[in-house]
Amino acid sequence: MTKIVSKAHSLEGWQLKNWFVGNWKTIKELIKVGVPYAISTFFSADLAMQGFITIVGKFILDTGEYWYKEYTR
């Protein structure tokens, strides 16, 4: 099996797909916080209410993900 070595100051072998797969957890968490925050700013100008709606929205999305996936304990 050949190994691709990227020398310094080179992007040889870099692929967007690999970056996306490697950063999927971070992207998913940004979506889980970003979507509820965007919705909360649409419905309320109060900063405390925006924070509350964002936290509740993330909780709902986390619960949905737990329900959808299979976890082993």
Domain boundaries, the chain: 16-68
- What pTM was computed for the model? 0.64
Residues 58/28, Cβ–Cβ less than 8 Å: no
Mean pLDDT for the stretch of residues 21-39: 90
Residues 6 or more apart whose CB falls under 8 angstroms from that of 42 comprise: none
- Range list of β-strands (E), 1-73: none
Q: Say if residue 36 is exposed, middle or buried (CB neighbours under 10 Å; 0-12, 13-18, 19+).
A: buried
Mean of per-residue pLDDT scores for the chain: 87
- 44 falls in which pLDDT band (50, 70, 90)? confident
C-alpha pair distances (Å), 56 with each of 5, 36, 37, 45, 46: 45, 8, 10, 17, 15
pLDDT at residue number 68: 86
Q: With a cut of 90, say whether residue 23 has pLDDT above it.
A: yes
* Sequence letter at residue 19: W
